[in-house]
Structures are given as C-alpha cells and as structure tokens.
Amino acid sequence: MTDYVVYDVFTDTAFGGNQLAVIPDATGLAEDQLQRIAREFNFSEVTFVYPPEDPANTAKVRIFTPTMEVPFAGHPTVGTAIALRDAGATGNIILELGIGPIPCTYLDNKAAFTVTAPLERLSTPDPALIAAALGLGTEAIKTSTHAPVQASVGLPFVLVEVQDRTALTQCQPVTDHFRTAAARYPSDMDFAIYAYARDGNQIDARMFAPLDNIPEDPATGSAAAALAALLTDISGRAQVLNILQGAAMGRPSYITAQTAPADPIPVTISGAAVRTMQGTLTL
C-alpha cells in the first residue's frame, strides 16, 4: 500500500486554491499505474515523488494530469515542495522535473520556485477563433499589448488578454472550438487557454483546458509564469504580478509572479498550500 496526501495550493485556507494529490514515495508503484491513479483522483494534477537521480538534489517529481504526463506545472511544484517540508525537509530544496532541476525556497507558509526556461512563442492563434472558444465576441479580446499567443516556459498556454473583468466573468468555453483550435495550432499539450484582465499589477485570470478533462482550473502557476515572462519580454521591464484565479469557481487562488529583464527571463512563482486530506492507495 502507498500513502498519499492532498493539498489545496495557492491558498492558506482549506477548500480554496487548486487541489493536488502527492504520492510522497512512488517507488512501489508500477509504471502503468501512474496515469490510472491520476485519472482516479481527477484533479488537474497529481505528483509522484522518487529519490533524486542526482544525490545533490532533493527529489525527482513526475507530474500527471488526468490524461497525460507533463514536464512542468506550477501548483504541483509549490504543493509538492510544501508537502516535502511538512514531511521533514529543511532548508532550500531542488526538485528534478521534466524541464530540469528547479530550486525551491520557503518563507513562512509559502514556497517559491524559479524557472529559467526560455520563453517560447509557439503560434499566434486567430483572435476570432479564440474568442469563439471562450464564448465571447471578438470585441472582448484586447490586443493593444499583445494578440493571443501560444507561449511556454515549460508548458504551452494560449495567453489572451480580455477587455475587463466583466468580459472575463462572461467566458463560457465552447469545447468544439477548442478542438478546432487544437487541430489548427498543435502543441505538446492539449489546447489550453489562459484568459486574463489586467489592472496595473493586479491580474484576474481563468484557465480552460476542456480537452484535458479540466473544464476550468482554479490555479495555474505554469501559465502565470508564461504570462509574466511574456509581459517582461514585451515591456523590457521587471514584473511583479499579483494574480487572482479561481474566484469564479468559488476556489480563490493567490499567485505571485516576479521577473527580471534577463535572457532567459527568470520567473519566480510563490504561494501557500494547506493539507486537507491523507490516506492510502490500496493497490
């Protein structure tokens, strides 16, 4: 039997944030069980923790959505780091992820990680198609800072700014349009859209990935990292973004993204997490 813990991530309050199941010792699980376990939890991600390949690091972490393994994701990184701290890890740690070693630090009840993967612009999807996928009119898409762009610092998202919070609230994803967009703009992951409204340093965001069995995600640190890197690249200036996501779902999540103007752009994502459940897989 294998133990697991469940955390709500990017919140300090139970039943907020984004749920994450962590398997602190996955060495006893067969390879063909991992995807099935992730599908059984049906959270946006589950992490499986192994001894590090490099003894200088803390742990190797594999991340699974309900449909696939991904090399990197934000709330699993923060949540796993806090789970390891709660299990006795001390000082700063290094997690081996699919995009390479990621250093993590702790401050009070929060964890932070820094990703330095180069910003990739994979495609520039048709704004009309993106508006249709979000159930919006084309006038709701704001393009003065950037047009919709599929970008990545480890995991690809279509980053799209909408005119205001009202437009963000009105998003009603249309899965058929997501399928059309995924076929037209393929990437290594199922098509996911990160829509946001900006007011200075405040970002209100929603993320939709219905083709990955995630109708809406309460918190998406990897998308926040991609957005922060993109805005830094466009402006040439450091960014400090305070991101609220999940409010429309009743699971508010609070993410801080900080950058510096460098090449590649370093993005630090930080947030809290709270344990809500623990148990045993009877496999």
Q: List the catalytic residues.
A: 45
Secondary structure class of 184 (helix, strand, coil): helix
**Residue entry with tokens 């919070």:** 165
Beta bridge partners of 207: 194, 217
Beta-carbon count within 10 A of 199 CB: 9
Integer Cα distance of 57 and 189 in angstroms: 27
Would you say 205 and 224 are in contact if contact means Cβ atoms under 8 Å apart? yes
**Cis status of the peptide bond prior to 264, with omega within 30 of 0:** yes
DSSP for 74-141 reads HHHHHHHHHHHHHTT--S-EEEEETTEEEEEEEETTEEEEEE-PPPEEEE---HHHHHHHTT--GGGE
Beta-carbon count within 10 A of 79 CB: 33
